[in-house]
């Protein structure tokens, strides 16, 4: 089934080339009540690239999805035009009285910046606390995992001496979770982060369960006891060339980046990398949509309906 997005969003034409069907909001087909409402808080600098990546994954769900893009503040992006933001993004004040089935909060290149120095930190705290009451299931990606663990569990920030960047092998640590259903026993995921997540503190100070991890990259996939909060410390949404673009960008900036691990063919940065993680990314997002967004939203609707009937019958 296709996803629905704002008319003229660049992703419509971009993903059409991949035979991925994206509908405009003006299409009447989405007036049916079973459509899922997904909010995406896009914190990535290259917002159009991120839109394409996440919409590609959402569009492969068998369910119908209505996507709303969200910006956290009025910051003017260096990589995305103000016209694009004004045309396709809403603000928190636009949606604070609404309810959504799912929320995705992307990563951000803020791994070395203290939370108190992040300009939109107070607004992100407000959003995270709001989301627990207004969103059925919340998916945090990379930097937003670190931020959410601080906001929701008061876990301190842990920073690596050297940036973790590359493609790493992972294994499932809990085989009967619906979120990892269909995963290979060993699967690949891109990472690009300075943060790390100590397992002992996670088990000691949170209600989170670790579902997948890597010998090299550490904790990868976590879920809260009530299944509402899902944390993904890597970047399964990345395109084949994304890490290459980040590497060459940092070279130009004089940051002397390390070559991403297990990424470039023959470790030659001039060669085009092959994508080895797309099947995992599709499974992860399909499982999230099917078992944690759709199923729980349906259960909540049924519960509210039954409670309404009970109240009406008791009058």
Q: Which residues line the annotated binding site? A: 163, 192, 249
142 among known catalytic residues: yes
List 235, 246, 280, 294, catalytic entry: 235
Q: How far apart are CA 25 and CA 234, in angstroms?
A: 31
Query: Which among 308, 168, 307 is positioned nearest to 234, based on CA atoms?
Result: 168
Residues placed in the known binding site for substrate: 163, 192, 249
List 128, 170, 191, 237, catalytic entry: 237
Query: Which among 52, 42, 47 is positioned nearest to 20, based on CA atoms?
Result: 52
Contact (Cβ atoms closer than 8 angstroms) between residue 100 and residue 66? no
Burial class (CB in 10 A: 0-12, 13-18, 19+), 275: middle
List 128, 142, 280, 294, catalytic entry: 142
- Token pair listed for 73: 């503040």
Q: How far apart are CA 208 and CA 226, in angstroms?
A: 9
| Distances from the Cα of 56 to the Cα of 2, 17, 23, 94, 245, angstroms | 10, 11, 13, 25, 19
Please provide residue 28's backbone torsions phi and psi, each rounded to the nearest 5 degrees: -70, -15
83 among known catalytic residues: no
237 among known catalytic residues: yes
The catalytic residues are 142, 235, 237
């Amino acid at each position: 089934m296709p996803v629905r997005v704002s008319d003229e969003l660049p992703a419509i034409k971009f993903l059409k080339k991949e035979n991925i069907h994206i509908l405009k909001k003006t299409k009447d087909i989405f007036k049916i009540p079973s459509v899922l409402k997904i909010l995406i808080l896009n914190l990535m600098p290259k917002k159009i690239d991120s839109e394409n990546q996440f919409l590609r994954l959402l569009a492969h769900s068998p369910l119908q999805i209505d996507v709303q893009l969200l910006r956290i503040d009025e910051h003017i992006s260096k990589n995305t035009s103000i016209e694009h933001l004004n045309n396709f993004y809403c603000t928190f004040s636009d949606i604070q009285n609404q309810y959504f089935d799912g929320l995705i909060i992307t990563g951000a290149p803020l791994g070395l910046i203290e939370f108190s120095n992040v300009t939109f930190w107070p607004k992100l705290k407000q959003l995270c606390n709001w989301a627990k009451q207004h969103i059925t299931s919340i998916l945090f990606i990379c930097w937003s995992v670190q931020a959410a663990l601080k906001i929701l569990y008061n876990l301190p920030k842990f920073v690596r001496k050297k940036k973790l960047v590359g493609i790493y092998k992972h294994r499932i640590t809990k085989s009967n979770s619906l979120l990892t259903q269909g995963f290979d026993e060993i699967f690949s995921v891109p990472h690009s982060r300075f943060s790390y997540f100590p397992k002992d503190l996670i088990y000691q100070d949170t209600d989170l369960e670790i579902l997948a991890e890597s010998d090299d990259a550490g904790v990868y996939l976590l879920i809260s006891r009530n299944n509402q909060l899902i944390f993904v410390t890597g970047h399964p949404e990345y395109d084949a060339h994304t890490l290459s673009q980040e590497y060459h960008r940092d070279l130009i900036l004089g940051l002397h980046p390390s070559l991403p691990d297990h990424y470039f063919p023959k470790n030659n940065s001039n060669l085009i990398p092959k994508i080895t993680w797309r099947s995992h990314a599709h499974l992860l997002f399909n499982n999230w949509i099917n078992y944690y967004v759709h199923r729980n939203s349906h259960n909540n609707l049924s519960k509210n309906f039954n409670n309404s009937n009970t109240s009406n019958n008791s009058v």
